[in-house]
Structure 1
Amino acid sequence: MISVDGLAVEFSGETLFSDVSFVVNENDKIALMGKNGAGKSTMMKIIAGAQKPTRGKVNAPKDAVIAYLPQHLLTEDDSTVFEEAAKAFKEIFSMRDEIDSINKQLETRTDYESSEYMALIDRVSDLGEKFYAIEDINYDAEVEKALKGLGFKREDFSRPTSEFSGGWRMRIELAKILLQKPDLILLDEPTNHIDIESVIWLEHFLINKAKAVIVISHDRTFIDNITNRTIEVTMGRIYDYKANYSHYLQLREERRAHQQKAFAEQQKIIADNKAFIERFRGTYSKTNQVNARERMLEKMELIEVDEVDTSALRLRFPAAPRSGDYPISVSHLSKQYGDHIVFKDASFAISRGEKVSFVGRNGEGKSTMIKAILGEIVIEGKCELGHNVKVGYFAQNQAALLNSELTVFQTVDEVAKGEIRTQIKTILGGFMFSGDDIDKKVSVLSGGERTRLAMVKLLLEPVNLLILDEPTNHLDLKSKDVLKEALKAFDGTLVLVSHDRDFLQGLSEKVFEFKDQRVIEHFETIDAFLVRNRIENIKQLDLV
């Protein structure tokens, strides 16, 4: 059992949260929820020991292991896959190295009576007691077993981590966590930048292999599948629900309804008593009653209604100019880099107005196909855009491509043409940039703010072919819902790459699967595809 007792965090006199206490029991699977800026990531860092609170503490058994997977992976580019995974045992290796170092010193020193010599004796005794109490295992064999279990091949072990995509780096980090056998796993936005198969693997790992888990995520399906408890951070305090995310939303609405009713009743009582006090103040016969009511109001604990995030993305794509019947035509298309074949002999056409999904594991060619469609790479075969096609493209790293030295306003003003320039402030307001926000530099924006700003640039001119590569990374649940509805209403052609199953569902009517150097066209909705492939994917990933 790990307990959080009286945590408080203050920045420059501002309180982020205070007097936060809760207990994490064995096998608890907790979703940590709250609007952006509420303090979720800060709280997680404190539990992980990566940040100190202003007040309060985290209590854990002496031998408890807490493993933390931050939002931004910390794998070193100068390490191999095997070396990075072996860092799970770095404390044990460090202990062993220190014992060896002290023993060498004791062999050469002759100051047997000195305090320094005795201190070394004490230190090596303490370390030895801890080290030799650890179960004798073959660490290299354990690392190999974990990596192979997560889908790595033996030839991958000596490759640098820099050669791997975000999804595979996630698995390296998870291998380290698995090897530590932690009592509590902390995950901050673990599904960003990984493919659907990796998300499915992670779900099964957490459900079947992990003990206690605390997760921050904007992936509704993911958190609904893995959690049995939701802790909401709001207005500097927490509410603890024994429910998954969807059930929590219902309970939260019921809680706010009770709060609003109690608040309204209390405000009426306050108003009635104040009116009585004002009416009879100075009336001798009512003095005791006036004083009693004043004391009652002074002691009254005021009811607060929890804040509601009323900011909302207002998103509507401009009407799409009419394109030819087939905005995208691909014929006998192949692409390889050196000896590595990405895909070969791909042929398909996408009709005007179709909404399609590109799915498949990271590295199977989804982004490569997009680059081929956009004419950014040399290919074998044909890949053509149809008549009058106007492309709007949102790259996976679109937010990172923004000029960090420009302000929000300058970023949009730079690409706005004609009369639209007079509406820049209105457009930015629709994307939750208002007041002083428009003068902020891009460098200080959060990931979600950068993504919204990149989306603004995409909307400045009408297009009839939208190509979106992971557009929901860093967007909160509300913004994702708004984007999804806007895409449903978009009257042009849509090509969508996303790992977010909840976002995809109900959105695309055809699926192109990238797998084993092939592009396979499925004439079914993404919903049907995901249901049909779920068990197959699980078996392929050795999850059962």
Structure 2
Amino acid sequence: MISVDNIAVEFSGDTLFSDVSFVINETDKIALMGKNGAGKSTMMKIIAGVQKATRGNIRYPKEAVIAYLPQHLLTEDNCTVFEEASKAFGIIFDMQNEMNRLNKELETRTDYESDEYMKLIQKVSDLGEKYYALEEINYEAEVEKALAGLGFKREDFHRQTSEFSGGWRMRIELTKILLQKPDLILLDEPTNHVDIESVIWLEDFLLNKAKAVVVISHDKTFIDNITNRTIEVTMGRIYDYKANYSHYLQLREDRRSHQIKAFQEQQRFIADNQAFIDRFKGTYSKTNQVTSRERMIEKLEIIEIDEIDNSSLRLRFPTAVRSGDYPVTVNALTKTYGEHVVFKDANMSISRGEKVSFVGRNGEGKSTMIKAIMGEIDFEGECQLGHNIKVGYFAQNQASLLDQTLTVFQTVDEVAHGDVRTQMKNILGRFMFGGEDIEKKVSVLSGGEKTRLAMVKLLLEPVNLLILDEPTNHLDLKSKDVLKEALLDFDGTLILVSHDRDFLQGLSQKVFEFKDKRVIEHFESIDAFLERNRIQSLKEIDLKN
């Protein structure tokens, strides 16, 4: 059991949260929720011990092992994937080295009757007992199993970590965490760069093998599947619900309704007493009553209503020219990098107005196909865009293409036309650009902020073919809802790559699966495909275990 006792965090006189207390039990699976800036990541860092609170304490059992996966990683690049993952068993290697050192010392000493020699023997005995109990673990097999579960191929094991993207390095860190079998796992946005099959594997692990878990995530399906408790950080305090995320939303709405009712009753009470004070102030016979009511109002603790986004913004893509019947046609397309074949003889025909999803494990060629469609890479075969095509393209590196000299507002203002211009601040607010943020230069924004800004800009441009490659990685739940509503209303052609199952559901009627160097067309909705894929993946997990 881990106890958070009266934690407070203050920055330059501003209070992020104060007197926060809760307990993490041995098998709790907790979703840490709240709007951006509420303090979720700060709370997690304090529990992990990488940041200190202004006041308060975190109490742990003496032998507790706590593992933390931050949202942004700082990794070293001086070993292979397998070597880096094996660091999870550092305690075994340290014990081996210590036992070797102690045994060598015993070999060289001759004071067999001394107390120091007896103590050394006892130390070797105690350490050996611990070591041989741990040695039953076949760590090499465990490392291989975990790496494979998170999407690594056997040929990847001995490649340098420096050869992998940030998303893949995050998986290496996640592998190390899972192998440590900690008492508490802290995960800050663990699914941002993980494909659907790996997310399913991670869910199974957290549910069936992990002990306590605290997770921050904008993936609704993921947190609904793994959590049984939700802690909401809001307005400097927390609310603790014994419920998963979807149920928590209902309970939170009930709580807010009660708050509104209590607030209204309190305001009526204050108004009635203030009316009495105003009427009889200066009346000698009522002096004591007036003074008593004034003091009562002064001491009254005003009921606060939780912050909530009441805006009903529904964003639609501007109308674009009508495209030809087949916006994208691919014939016998093959892409190789040296001897490595990404996919071979791929064929696809996407009709006007169709919404399709590209799915498959990372590295199977989804983004490569998009780059081929956009004409960004060379390939064998044919890939053509249809007549009158106006492409809106959101790539994973889209943030780098923004004009660094413009402000946030200028960036979107230059592409906005018509009535939407009157809603610019509301639109930016829904994508977490509020207040003074809109006057910031693009050059000072974080990577996540730039990504969100690039998405807002795209939403305001008239296009008839929309290609989105992992568009939700830096969007909160409300921003994702705005984007999803816009995509559902979009009357053009959509190609979507995403690992976010909740976001994908209902968005496409056809699926192109990238698997084993092939592109397989499935004439079914993404919902049907995901359910079939989930069942198949879980069967594979059972076989591996």
Q: TM-score with structure 1 length normalisation? A: 0.89
Number of the residue aligned with 2:335:
335
Secondary structure of 1:537's match?
A: helix
Does 1:492 pair with 2:489?
no
TM alignment of 1:361-400, pairs within 5 A: 361-400=361-400
Number of the residue aligned with 1:204:
204
What is the CA–CA distance in structure 2 between the aligned matches of 1:133 and 1:443, rounded to whole Å? 57
Q: Which of the residues 121, 130, 140 maps onto 1:134?
A: 130
CA shift, 1:149, in A, is: 4.2
Change (3 A) 1:155 1:496: closer
TM alignment of 1:226-375, pairs within 5 A: 226-310=226-310, 315-375=315-375
Change (3 A) 1:435 1:29: closer
Number of the residue aligned with 1:471:
471
What is the CA–CA distance in structure 2 between the aligned matches of 1:103 and 1:519, rounded to whole Å? 59
Change (3 A) 1:398 1:311: farther
1:7, 1:53 within 8 Å by CA — same for their partners in 2? yes
Change (3 A) 1:154 1:391: closer
CA shift, 1:532, in A, is: 1.7
Alignment root-mean-square deviation, CA: 3.1
What is the CA–CA distance in structure 2 between the aligned matches of 1:519 and 1:335, rounded to whole Å? 12
Deviation string for 1:269-307 (max 9, x for gaps)?
111112112222232222232232223223322211111
Number of the residue aligned with 1:114:
none
Secondary structure of 2:513's match?
A: strand
Change (3 A) 1:160 1:533: same
CA shift, 1:193, in A, is: 1.4
CA shift, 1:131, in A, is: 5.2
Does 1:175 pair with 2:171?
no
Deviation string for 1:148-179 (max 9, x for gaps)?
34414554322112334556434422321222
Tell me which amino acid in the other structure corresponds to 2:57. K
Number of the residue aligned with 1:145:
142
Change (3 A) 1:345 1:274: same
What is the CA–CA distance in structure 1 between the aligned matches of 2:329 and 2:153, rounded to whole Å? 36
Q: Which of the residues 427, 436, 441 maps onto 2:424?
A: 427
Tell me which amino acid in the other structure corresponds to 2:130. I
What is the CA–CA distance in structure 2 between the aligned matches of 1:494 and 1:482, rounded to whole Å? 16
1:328, 1:350 within 8 Å by CA — same for their partners in 2? yes
What is the CA–CA distance in structure 2 between the aligned matches of 1:421 and 1:319, rounded to whole Å? 11
What is the CA–CA distance in structure 1 between the aligned matches of 2:106 and 2:52, rounded to whole Å? 38
1:92, 1:131 within 8 Å by CA — same for their partners in 2? no
1:167, 1:198 within 8 Å by CA — same for their partners in 2? no
Deviation string for 1:24-54 (max 9, x for gaps)?
0011000000000000000000100111111
What is the CA–CA distance in structure 2 between the aligned matches of 1:465 and 1:420, rounded to whole Å? 19
Please list every run of 5 or more consecutive structure 1 residues that lacks an aligned counterpart in the other structure.
Answer: 109-119
Identity of aligned residues (%): 74
Change (3 A) 1:125 1:42: farther
Tell me which amino acid in the other structure corresponds to 2:54. T
Change (3 A) 1:92 1:43: farther
What is the CA–CA distance in structure 2 between the aligned matches of 1:106 and 1:82, rounded to whole Å? 34
**Mean Cα deviation higher: 345-354 or 403-412:** 403-412
TM alignment of 1:15-164, pairs within 5 A: 15-90=15-90, 93=93, 132=128, 134-136=130-132, 137-138=134-135, 141-151=138-148, 152-164=152-164
What is the CA–CA distance in structure 1 between the aligned matches of 2:159 and 2:506, rounded to whole Å? 40
What is the CA–CA distance in structure 2 between the aligned matches of 1:461 and 1:106, rounded to whole Å? 76
**Mean Cα deviation higher: 295-304 or 327-336:** 295-304
Deviation string for 1:353-390 (max 9, x for gaps)?
10000000000000010011111111111111111111
What is the CA–CA distance in structure 1 between the aligned matches of 2:27 and 2:502, rounded to whole Å? 25
CA shift, 1:453, in A, is: 1.1
Deviation string for 1:303-343 (max 9, x for gaps)?
11111134676532111211111000011111111111111
Change (3 A) 1:305 1:434: closer
What is the CA–CA distance in structure 1 between the aligned matches of 2:52 and 2:103, rounded to whole Å? 35
Tell me which amino acid in the other structure corresponds to 2:440. K
What is the CA–CA distance in structure 1 between the aligned matches of 2:419 and 2:192, rounded to whole Å? 36
CA shift, 1:457, in A, is: 2.9
1:148, 1:154 within 8 Å by CA — same for their partners in 2? no
Aligned length: 530
Secondary structure of 2:520's match?
A: strand
What is the CA–CA distance in structure 2 between the aligned matches of 1:161 and 1:362, rounded to whole Å? 16
Tell me which amino acid in the other structure corresponds to 1:464. N
Secondary structure of 2:362's match?
A: coil
Secondary structure of 2:130's match?
A: coil
Tell me which amino acid in the other structure corresponds to 2:180. Q
Number of the residue aligned with 2:113:
none
CA shift, 1:403, in A, is: 5.0
**Mean Cα deviation higher: 66-75 or 237-246:** 66-75
Deviation string for 1:70-115 (max 9, x for gaps)?
112344333211221122234565576688789999999xxxxxxx
Secondary structure of 2:367's match?
A: helix
Change (3 A) 1:496 1:236: same
1:509, 1:526 within 8 Å by CA — same for their partners in 2? yes
Q: TM-score with structure 2 length normalisation? A: 0.89
**Mean Cα deviation higher: 176-185 or 152-161:** 152-161
2:78, 2:161 within 8 Å by CA — same for their partners in 1? yes
**Mean Cα deviation higher: 128-137 or 76-85:** 128-137
Change (3 A) 1:311 1:164: farther
What is the CA–CA distance in structure 1 between the aligned matches of 2:49 and 2:59, rounded to whole Å? 11
What is the CA–CA distance in structure 1 between the aligned matches of 2:401 and 2:77, rounded to whole Å? 21
Deviation string for 1:432-490 (max 9, x for gaps)?
24553232123443555323310233245421110000111110111101111101111
1:221, 1:501 within 8 Å by CA — same for their partners in 2? yes
What is the CA–CA distance in structure 1 between the aligned matches of 2:6 and 2:455, rounded to whole Å? 40
**Mean Cα deviation higher: 67-76 or 185-194:** 67-76
Deviation string for 1:200-243 (max 9, x for gaps)?
11111111110000000000111001100000000000000000
2:89, 2:139 within 8 Å by CA — same for their partners in 1? no
Secondary structure of 1:134's match?
A: helix
Tell me which amino acid in the other structure corresponds to 2:424. I
